[in-house]
Amino acid sequence: MQVQRQPTQQADTIDLMVNMGPQHPSTHGVFRVVLWIDGERIVRAEPHIGYLHRGSEKLCEGELYSQVITLFDRLDYVSNLNCELAFCLAVEKLMALEIPDRASYIRVILCELNRIASHMLFYGVYGLDTGAMTPILYGFRERERIQALFETVTGARMMHNYIRVGGLRHDLPEDFVPKMAELMDHLKRGVEECDDLLSNNEMFIARTKGIGPISGEDAIEFGVTGPALRAAGVLEDVRISEPYSIYDRFEFGIPVGTYGDCWDRYYVRIEEMRQSMSIIEQAMEQMEPGPTVSALRRITRPPKGETYMRTESPRGDFGVFLVSDGSDKPYRVKVRAPSFANLQALQHLFRNAYVADAVVILGSIDIILGEVDR
Amino acid sequence: MSFEQGVYYALGAVGLFVFLSVMVLALTWIERKGLARIQMRMGPMRVGFHGTLQPIADAMKLVVKEDILPSWADRRIYWLAPLAVFIPALMLWATIPLARDAVLANLELGLFYIVAFSVLSVMGLVMAGWGSANKYAILGGLRAAGQLVSYEIPFIMALLGVAMLVQSLNLIEIVDHQARWAHILIQPLGLFIFLTAGLAELGRTPFDIHHAESEVVGGPFVEYSGAHWAVFFLAEYINTFTIAALTVLLFLGGWQWPGMPFDGFLNSALSVVWFLVKIYVVIALIIWIRGTYPRLRIDQLMAFGWKLLVPLSFVNIVITGVVLFYGWPLWTLTLMSLILLAGTFYLIATYRGTAMERMTVSVHPARIARPEPAVALQQEAGTSTDG
């Protein structure tokens, strides 16, 4: 990283090294950045990852295809269903499997709900990062409601293991439709409330506008994807550029920012929640009764070969590279984790930042360490 | 000083300490309940009725906890720092009256005394930061020093405006001066400056940068635990209470109650109650701000202080002086004050552009960005062959 020499540095001083993390309250897990600071300005930043490395990719090789799904639940632990979906889609692609329509619709509905839940967590934590303590409770209220619905559907609040190769574990519960309608009512109001509470707050704007900007070209070079890339003004969403599952059946908007600063990254996510709700509504309308699992043998044995499946997780382009040797266990699984790629831009974003900005910038990338370290 | 006087002051100091402790306990409970209300929670509910005994339980816990001394700390400075913060906080109350007769020492230079002692707490924070020998603590301590020193100026200037109006530094005379019109009606700008600078002096949201949990992890207090941390905490809440009390005394008419029907002891007692009610209204405002605002960054905080509050406080002095010198009616001062205040808010609101200009995120319909169906199909066919 280019060291920016400030005029004040010509005095005979040394930069203070501050170890931010892995036990710092706002590193979103066990992330560690070593900061060299000159007064309040960051001169150099050195991220260290790997504190949450569990060897998930290697573990996948020893598990049956049906068991690997549980490992994917634990990658991005705030948007589990999106991870499950990516793996199942990859296996299905390898097997050229047809999925019943109803299963696809339920997958989309749950994944979009999970996207909202994930962004709600981001919203709350971002509030904390900027020093406002109330947003987290508003964000968690909505997230809690979504998780309650997940519990009625999948039996678990977070580690669902619900999406299976070829469909779903089981159909929706009978009272899903009224519960969903109620949830949507709450969510619509909730998102607007959250938006009102923080987005146009003068101090929040002061803390996030123009902080950690990144241009579209730079973002692409760094491999940044998802909301962070869209905030930089690039219209790119896997749900649209490479529609998977049944995303080509819905009409929805893609929020795109202008400057790629923290505020854009924040607001793109707020807007995405609205768009996700519109997708869910369309899916609820189009969904028809039917089977939720395709005819399958007990043990999944994809044909020999390899495939790569891209999906749009709440954090960006979540890719699964799968190699099968024809047995009941994957030969190799490689995950392209969006948080990991987005984190590469961290030093670039930290240019000319203050210590207080470091927290805000890190928060705006919205990393999940379970996914970064895998 | 005679023996009787000594006993009187000693008893008064003890009484004051007890009174302030009770107030702080109440204040923490109110703050937690108020924040909980803003945040759709219930707050403390388990200890006592609606958690009323929670502060006592907390205090017990803090006193009983182990007092950790980091091995690399500068021991003397480390242990002295809580006292250096706490004693000035307590000393301030020697001259703050609760009612006309309820004051330990009614100093003629009351305001001057308050200004002198309120500056001292900076030293304690810097000492705490330095003594802990912790990088976050040092960062926090230095932030505190910078912040407190720069907000001291508008703080004092706002006090000065009031002193000019009253032509006295005696707090009781200041309250008496507001028998007819509280100073908020004469100097709304002064109130704004005083409260904003006061919040910064306290280091409360949105100016809580020196102990920002998300950045410097508690700042100067990061290494403290147990009773010493409790002393810091006590001092901080006493200061909050002090700023609220000063706001009431200087701008909201103190214990003045239009048409108070009683006199003698009943009058004093009711005055104290009324004064406390007003204080807690101001505290409610402070809690409300804490519940809704994010934190400013250090450079923004300094810019706000030096570029806006300091000039405004000088203007406030000038207009007060002009009105007093030429003997214009006081409502002209109100008018000028209000215009300046409106101008300030307009400046703050439009400094970063209007709400429309700030909206840099636009939504693009998916059908525009979606590739042609034929292309998508081709891609699908291409990828499925390798399976």
- CB of A14 less than 8 A from some CB of B: no
A275/B contact by beta carbon, under 8 A: yes
Q: Amino acid letter at A334?
A: K
Pairing relationship of beta strands A167-168 and A305-313 according to DSSP bridges: unpaired
**Edge-to-edge strand order for the sheet containing A16-20?**
A16-20, A32-38, A41-48
Which CATH number covers residue A154? Answer: 1.10.645.10
pLDDT tens readout for residues A222-238: 989 989 898 888 888 88
Q: Which residue has the tokens 């001394």?
A: B69
B360 with A258: Cβ contact below 8 A: yes
Q: Would A5 be classed as within a structural domain? A: no
Is A251 part of any domain? yes
Average pLDDT (B301-306) is 88
B185: left (phi over 0), alpha (psi -120 to 50) or beta: alpha
Q: What are the phi and psi torsion angles at B384 (to 5°)?
A: -75, -15
Interchain contact, A264 vs B360, CB within 8 Å: yes
What is the model's pLDDT at position B331?
A: 86
Peptide linkage before B220 cis (omega within 30 of 0): no
Which residues in chain B touch residue A251, judged by CB atoms under 8 angstroms apart? 365-367
Which of A28, A36, A40 has the most B C-beta neighbours within 10 Å, making it the best mutation to test the interface with B? Answer: A40
Per-residue pLDDT at A116: 92
How far is A125 from A128, CA to CA, in rounded Å? Answer: 5
DSSP one-letter code for B210: G
Sheet (strand A330-336) strand order: A305-313, A316-324, A330-336
pLDDT digits (tens, 9 = 90+) for B281-296: 999 999 999 888 888 8
Torsional class of A118: left (φ above 0), alpha (ψ -120 to 50), beta (otherwise): alpha
Q: Is the peptide bond prior to A22 cis by the omega test (within 30 degrees of 0)?
A: yes
Q: How many independent structural domains does chain A possess?
A: 1
Nearest CA in chain B to A37: B139
Q: Which residues contact B181 (CB under 8 A, 6 or more apart)?
A: B330
Kindly state whether residue A123 falls inside one of the protein's structural domains: yes
Is B387's CB within 8 Å of A250's CB? no
Write down the pLDDT at residue B384: 41
Each residue of B246-259: pLDDT tens digit? 999 888 888 877 76
Give B83-119 pLDDT, tens digit per residue: 888 888 888 888 888 877 777 777 888 888 888 888 8
Whether residues B364 and A259 touch (CB distance < 8 A) is answered with: no
CB neighbourhood size of A233 (10 A): 20
Of all residues in chain B, the percent with pLDDT exceeding 90 is: 8
Range of the domain at A226: 55-373
Query: Quick check: is A307 in a domain?
Result: yes
Share of chain B above pLDDT 70, in %: 91
Note whether A131 contacts B: Cβ–Cβ < 8 A: yes
- Residue A326 sits at the chain B interface (C-beta within 8 Å): no
Q: Which residues contact A364 (CB under 8 A, 6 or more apart)?
A: A126, A208, A212, A228, A262, A265, A266
**pLDDT-based confidence at B386, cuts 50/70/90?**
very low
B18 min Cα distance to partner chain A (Å): 31
| Residues 6+ away with beta carbon under 8 Å from B117 | B88, B91, B92
Note the pLDDT tens digit of each residue in B6-65: 888 888 888 888 888 888 888 889 999 999 988 888 888 888 888 888 888 888 888 888
Check residue A115 and give its pLDDT.
92
pLDDT digits (tens, 9 = 90+) for B56-85: 888 888 888 888 888 888 888 888 888 888
pLDDT in the model for residue B381? 45
**A123 contacts in chain B (CB < 8 Å):** none
Give the position of tokens 């009187």: B8
Instruction: Go through B202-240 and write b for each residue having 16 or more CB atoms within 10 A of its CB, e for each that does not.
Output: bbbbbbbbbbbbbbbbbbbbbbbeeebbbbbbbbbbbbb
Q: What is the pLDDT of residue A6?
A: 54
The nearest CA of chain B is from the CA of A174 a distance in Å of: 31
Helix H, strand E, coil C: the string for B83-101 is HHHHHHHHHHHHCCCCCCC
* Residues B206, B296 contacting (CB under 8 angstroms): yes
For A308-337, give the DSSP string: EEEEEETTEEEEEEEEE-SSSSEEEEEEE-
Chain B residues whose CB is inside 8 A of the A283 CB are: none
The whole-number pLDDT of residue A123 equals: 92
- Asked if the structure places residue A22 within a domain, the reply is no
What are the residue ranges in chain A where pLDDT is below 50?
1-3
What would the DSSP string read from start to end of A102-135? HHHHHHHHHHHHHHHHHHHHHHHHHHHHHT-SSH
pLDDT at res. B380:
46
Amino acid at residue number B210: H
Q: Side-chain half-sphere of B40: how many Cα atoms within 13 Å?
A: 11
> What pLDDT does residue B285 have?
92
The answer to whether A138 and A190 are in contact (CB under 8 A) is yes
Q: Which of A295, A332, A300, A357 is nearest to A131 (CA)?
A: A357
Question: How close, in Å, is residue B229 to chain A by CA atoms?
Answer: 19
Question: What is the rounded CA–CA span in Å between residue A349 and residue A33?
Answer: 13
Any domain includes A6: no
CB-based contact (8 Å) between A207 and chain B? yes
Residue B298's pLDDT band (boundaries 50, 70, 90)?
confident
Q: Can you give the pLDDT at residue B260?
A: 67
Residue A92 lies in a domain: yes
Rg (CA), chain B: 26
The pLDDT of residue A298 is: 74
CA-nearest of B243, B114, B116, B113 to B191 is B243
Of A95, A128, A207, the CB nearest to B297: A207
Reported as a single tens digit per residue, the pLDDT across B112-154 is 888 888 888 888 888 888 888 888 888 888 888 888 888 888 9
Q: Is residue A20 part of a domain?
A: no
- Residue A45 to residue A256: CA distance in whole angstroms: 28
pTM of the model: 0.85
C-beta atoms of B212 and A356 within 8 A: yes
Please tell me which residue of chain B has the smallest CA distance to A227: B361
Contact B360 A267 (CB under 8 A): yes
Cβ A131–B212 below 8 Å, yes or no? yes
What per-residue confidence (pLDDT) applies to B314?
A: 92
Give the pLDDT mean for B217-238: 85
More confident residue, A309 or B361: A309
Q: What pLDDT shows up at residue B259?
A: 67
> Interface pTM (ipTM) of the complex?
0.81
Residue A243, chain B, CB below 8 Å: the answer is yes
Token look-up 């020193």 returns B149
